[in-house]
Amino acid sequence: MATDESLQKAIQVWCKPETSHLNMIAVLTEAFADILDEIKSVPVDPLLGLATTKELLDEVYTRIEMDGMLEYRTVDSESYNKTPTTKEDKNAK
């Protein structure tokens, strides 16, 4: 069952100049209202919901920087430097 607020919004479709000549269909109005309620039920971060890619990357960068993990590496430099790089190095182990 759709909320009154969503029903009122759905009814507004028939108040537009380009649609006011159409007959209102109650079942269609309720279906629109149900969809509006579904959309409203999805949580959206008000700060990042409509963010650009640059804004999202800036946010991620800032969070990483604040955690002191800006220089984090998935492989430490010691084990990276010890990794065999040539076929001879691999055979030497």
Q: Read off the pLDDT of residues 26-57 as tens digits, 9 standing for 90 and up.
A: 999 999 999 999 888 877 666 667 778 888 88
For the cut 70, the answer to whether the pLDDT of residue 87 exceeds it is: no
Q: Which of 2-6, 42-46, 57-61 has the lowest mean pLDDT?
A: 42-46
Q: Is residue 67 a contact partner of residue 59, using CB atoms and an 8 Å limit?
A: no
Host domain of residue 18: 4-41
- Structurally, the chain folds into a number of domains equal to 2
Q: What is the mean pLDDT of residues 65-76?
A: 71
HEC-encoded secondary structure of the chain = CCCHHHHHHHHHHHHCCCCCCCCCCHHHHHHHHHHHHHHHHCCCCCCCCCCCHHHHHHHHHHHHHHCCCCCCCCCCHHHHHHCCCCHHHHHHC
Residue 61 lies in a domain: yes
My answer on whether 30 and 52 are in the same domain is no
Residue 91 lies in a domain: no
Which pTM value belongs to this model? 0.46
Residue 13 lies in a domain: yes
Residue 90 lies in a domain: no
My answer on whether 54 and 78 are in the same domain is yes
My answer on whether 55 and 31 are in the same domain is no
Residue 89 lies in a domain: no
Q: Helices 4-11 and 26-41, interaxial angle, to 10°?
A: 120
As a whole number, the mean pLDDT across the chain is: 79
